[in-house]
Amino acid sequence: MSLRTLSVRAESRTNRKLKNKLYIFLLFISSWANAQTPSFYAQVSKNRVAVGEVFQIAFTLNGSGNNLVYPNLNDFDIYSGPNQSQSMSMVNGNISQSTTISFFMAAKKEGKFTIGIATVMAGGQKLETKPIVIEAVKGNAQAQQNGNQNAQSGQAQQSQKPEKNQYVSDISNEDLFVRTFLSKTKCYLGEQITLTQKVYSRVDLRGFQNVKFPPYNGFWSQQETSNQQINLTQENVNGVMYYVADYCKVYLFPQRVGTITIDPVELDCIVRRQTKRQPRNIFEQFFGAGGYEDVPIKVKSKAVKVDVQDLPIDNKPVGFSGAVGDFSYKAELDKERVKANEAVNLKITISGKGNIKLIEPPILNLPESFETYDPKESENIKTQGGVSGSITYNYLIIPREKGEFVLNDLHFNFFNADKKQYVSIPSPDMKLTVLEGDPGSAQIITPAKKGVKESENDIRYIKTGDLGLHKNDKEFFSSVTHYLLLIIPTLLFFAALFFVRQHIKANSNVMVVKERKAAKLAKKQLVIAEKHMSANNKDLFFTEVLNALNNYIGDKFALPIVDLSKEKITEMLLSRNVLEETAKRVINTLNTCEYAKYAPSAVTGDLKQVYNDTIELISQIENQIKK
């Protein structure tokens, strides 16, 4: 038999095997397309639990779906979750897949609680779970401790890394890493720079969890919120192609001069890895794979530094308020003619790109007879491609005297970092005619603004006769008054010197200053959260509340933000005589904010209540520490 004949027969056998495998593959695809009817249900590990005892609730979807809405879980403390797991099985040639979302939680108090329905869209229809009743009875400390240990064990199983030799290939630092990029490493005080966190991957990247952002100390920061979905792109790094995910983009505005270090970002990347286990079914055997697992791998970027320069002193205009960027300016009156003692509105609008949210309201230089009040502010700020937008100041002005007035001393100054020069925008000449006021209208003239005229005679009247003068026998020198006037200035000098030294000593310790001002700074940051609450921006609201609490605790107890953990926070609060109930409320608030930050669609409840509870918590901590 010739070599050619053997070759033809071998090729024929190979073709038949490929056809058989292709036929099996088509059968699998057909069976997958006709998969099981989607179903959705909820189940718990226990229906009767002790207060503080941790149990698990799981929502399982057989099939694929979207728009999952969780029930209200405010009656429980959530220790872990949402934790996601997926599975795939084949029965009688039919392949089915399921997704499970689970929570580890515990009842806050005794009673019967109903976990409402959860909903999901699957197969073109809305699926709902059945309500579940949980009965919470009086527990003990041992049961609560065991429950916490079970929750920690369940959470550890979610993030535990299996042994390295279980997988087909290893993942090195060159296969998966995160980098921090800055649009500028050298900038001016108040200039906008862009920070981008990028994840580089040569593996099957499935998602992210446990993200720890740096505190951005020394900067005022604003995170871009326009891009809620992370898209992968390709990038060549030293001749190697990577899939790149722009995970986060933040706009920073330096608030102090010098070299500022931005701490690294830490996160867990969920990577799908192929295992070495034996195939469990024909489907895995056909594709030559033993199976896959989603494994968290911790990555950390490197710290970056920014060199911040002070603004130039040369040609710095008078009245410069710290605006840095590229702005336009507009000022206008709503009336040109008005009667005395009647109100007129002055509208000043500043728009452009830069540190617009940090601009101070313009100072008005008006005639002395004009009375004015603090402006009403309104803003329209966007974070797409940078912080930009407009801010409007409405001043209420009341002229008290009639006349013709020209308002033209309302200039606006800013520093253009790109051109490295100051720009002054003059205001237009705004003419205002003030007519005689009505007889019954109130007229109030501020003495500080209205001069008082005095009249005198050229020659005063000379009094004649007995003037009633008498000699003073007491001398001033060497008297008690004389010595007191010599001693008192010396005492005042030493007293002032003492208080100055005490003031310098009190403010020389940065940690003590931060501790003293922690509550004030936290409440100031909560003002930003209140604005997001008014705009119903839940994600930004909970982010600001979380940052305010973390910064307050970090400043109050002299701890870096990155070192704060739930156990450390509880330990520090209890060590400073804070009540255990208050410490528990702090942890609950932090858990609620973190849960809302990474699962905003699952957030329910009153934002106003969260805001008020946070302010009340800070006040309670301050009062209890003082006691």
Domain containing residue 226: CATH number:
2.60.40
- pLDDT value at position 156? 42
Among candidate residues 285, 309, 333, the one where a domain is terminated: 309
Q: Is residue 412 located within the same domain as residue 381?
A: yes
Q: What CATH code is carried by the domain that includes residue 414?
A: 2.60.40.740
Mean per-residue pLDDT for 40-53?
84
Q: Is residue 299 located within the same domain as residue 183?
A: yes
Q: Is residue 141 located within the same domain as residue 185?
A: no
Question: What phi and psi, each to the nearest 5 degrees, are found at residue 20?
Answer: -65, -45
Residue 481 lies inside a defined structural domain of this protein: no
Q: Is residue 298 located within the same domain as residue 391?
A: no
Using an 8 Å Cβ cutoff, are 289 and 224 in contact?
Answer: no
Q: How far apart are CA 393 and CA 378, in angstroms?
A: 7
Q: Which tokens hold the place of 359?
A: 């601009």
Using an 8 Å Cβ cutoff, are 217 and 254 in contact?
Answer: no
Least Cα distance to 532 among 522, 542, 523 occurs for 542
Residue 500 lies inside a defined structural domain of this protein: no
Q: Is residue 3 located within the same domain as residue 52?
A: no
Has residue 184 got a pLDDT over 80? yes
Average pLDDT, the chain: 78
Least Cα distance to 82 among 609, 543, 594, 569 occurs for 594
Question: What Rg, from alpha-carbon coordinates, does the chain have?
Answer: 36
Q: What percent of the chain stands above pLDDT 70?
A: 75
**Residue 324 carries which DSSP code?**
B
Using an 8 Å Cβ cutoff, are 125 and 87 in contact?
Answer: no
B/e letters for 192-206, b = 16+ CB within 10 Å, e = fewer, are bbbbebbbbbbbebe
Mean per-residue pLDDT for 94-99?
68
**Where do we find the tokens 């604005």?**
531
Residue 505 lies inside a defined structural domain of this protein: no
Residue 132 lies inside a defined structural domain of this protein: yes
Has residue 454 got a pLDDT over 60? no
Give the model confidence (pLDDT) of 272-328 as tens digits.
887 776 665 555 555 544 567 888 899 999 999 999 999 999 888 888 888 999 999
Mean per-residue pLDDT for 607-615?
83
- pLDDT value at position 301? 92
Number of domains into which the chain is organized: 5
Mutual angle of helices 538-556 and 510-534, in 10-degree steps: 170
Which residues lie across from 102 on neighbouring strands?
A: 58, 83
- pLDDT value at position 390? 92
Q: Give the domain extent around 265.
A: 176-309
Q: What percent of the chain stands above pLDDT 90?
A: 18
Residue 578 lies inside a defined structural domain of this protein: yes
Q: What CATH code is carried by the domain that includes residue 556?
A: 1.20.120
Q: Is residue 533 located within the same domain as residue 611?
A: yes
* CA atoms within 13 Å, Cβ hemisphere of 10: 6
Has residue 357 got a pLDDT over 60? yes
- pLDDT value at position 152? 47
- pLDDT value at position 54? 85
Q: How far apart are CA 618 and CA 612, in angstroms?
A: 10
Mean per-residue pLDDT for 560-589?
81
Mean per-residue pLDDT for 459-472?
62
Among candidate residues 406, 435, 464, the one where a domain is terminated: 435
Least Cα distance to 608 among 508, 529, 501, 495 occurs for 529
Residue 497 lies inside a defined structural domain of this protein: no
Among candidate residues 413, 435, 457, the one where a domain is terminated: 435
- pLDDT value at position 67? 80
For residue 350, the surrounding DSSP H or E stretch is: strand 344-354
Q: Is residue 263 located within the same domain as residue 287?
A: yes
Q: Is residue 227 located within the same domain as residue 300?
A: yes
Residue 171 lies inside a defined structural domain of this protein: no
Q: Is residue 152 located within the same domain as residue 45?
A: yes
Q: How far apart are CA 108 and CA 481, in angstroms?
A: 73
Q: How far apart are CA 375 and CA 397, in angstroms?
A: 10
* CA atoms within 13 Å, Cβ hemisphere of 132: 21
Q: Which tokens hold the place of 275?
A: 């295992």
Q: Which residue has the higher pLDDT, 562 or 25?
A: 562
Confidence of residue 157 (pLDDT cuts 50, 70, 90): very low
Q: Is residue 237 located within the same domain as residue 148?
A: no
Q: Is residue 415 located within the same domain as residue 335?
A: yes
pTM for this predicted structure: 0.46
Confidence of residue 8 (pLDDT cuts 50, 70, 90): very low
Residue 451 lies inside a defined structural domain of this protein: no
Has residue 27 got a pLDDT over 50? no
Q: Could you tell me what percentage of the chain is helix, strand and coil, using 3-state DSSP and rounding each to the nearest 5?
A: 30, 35, 35
Q: Is residue 196 located within the same domain as residue 303?
A: yes
